[in-house]
Amino acid sequence: MLHSRLHDEYLNGTVLEHLPASDRVASVRTFALLRVSNESPPALRHEAAEVARLATRESSAHKSGYDGSITDSVLLPYVLVHGSRAIGFVLIGETGWSWRMRWIAPNKATFVGATPDEVSRRVVARVWIAKAHRAQGLAREIVEAVASIESREVAEMTFQLPFSAAGCRLVQSLLPGHWFGAGDAFDFEDVVSSTAS
Ligand SMILES: CC(C)(COP(=O)(O)OP(=O)(O)OC[C@H]1O[C@@H](n2cnc3c(N)ncnc32)[C@H](O)[C@@H]1OP(=O)(O)O)[C@@H](O)C(=O)NCCC(=O)NCCS
């Protein structure tokens, strides 16, 4: 029973019971994009935390999470809604440290410069799309929509590592040349390994 519920959520997204129209900030195709903040009703914050937990199940290497509590940090979950289901999730944070990167091959990047860029930037901490809605360009569109709502260019935002294979492809597709990445040395290992030549 639990297994079939988890599988259904993985495929079709979590069921949302609290969908206040006031938190709708944009449409992506026919879907509503909600922006959840400290000012959102507790029920919506906690439902967004459920979506974050679902997203974490597939990218457990990621440290950043959202538990629905009110914090001082800039941590903004965006939830993409289809009917009563959350089918997409983007978690935005902020960082003062980003590494300037450049792709040199599929899934392989190299550092540009020996020191991090110390400009404060929005960081895309997590992106998740329900399995049944993948490979249709939705992740790309919600990242672009979120950047626009945050008044940033996608190229000015930082992406939190480590990446999953699909996450890596998404970032490379969004930004095929230079991009900013955040994380520690271990987080960058996969994406920069074998790039020494
Ligand atoms: C990563 C994820 C968000 C991508 O969502 P999506 O809606 O399928 O991605 P899109 O359809 O917008 O694809 C965007 C680009 O990435 C590429 N891409 C995405 N997933 C890919 C995959 N599994 N294999 C190869 N390329 C992939 C697409 O081909 C597309 O490139 P293009 O624009 O050059 O054609 C989704 O696979 C997911 O939620 N995975 C589980 C969680 C996760 O890994 N999150 C990322 C953590 S770093």
N- to C-terminal Cα separation, the chain: 51
Q: What is the pLDDT of residue 106?
A: 95
The architecture that CATH gives domain 2-192 is 3-Layer(aba) Sandwich (3.40)
Q: Which of 76, 85, 71 is nearest to 11 (CA)?
A: 85
Q: What is the pLDDT of residue 155?
A: 98
The number of the ligand 1 atom at minimal distance from the alpha carbon of 141 is 12
Name the residue of 170, 171, 173 to mutate for ligand 1: max ligand atoms within 8 A of Cβ: 170
Which pair of tokens denotes residue 125?
């901490």
Q: What is the pLDDT of residue 63?
A: 60
Q: What is the pLDDT of residue 60?
A: 67
- Judge if the beta carbon of residue 120 lies within 6 A of ligand 1: no
3-state helix, strand, coil in the chain (%, to 5): 35, 30, 35
Does the pTM exceed 0.85?
Answer: yes
Which residue numbers in the chain have pLDDT < 70?
A: 1, 60-64, 194-197
- Judge if the beta carbon of residue 60 lies within 6 A of ligand 1: no
Q: What is the pLDDT of residue 197?
A: 43
Q: Is 127 helix (H, G, I), strand (E, B) or coil?
A: strand
Q: How many CB atoms within 10 Å of residue 174?
A: 19
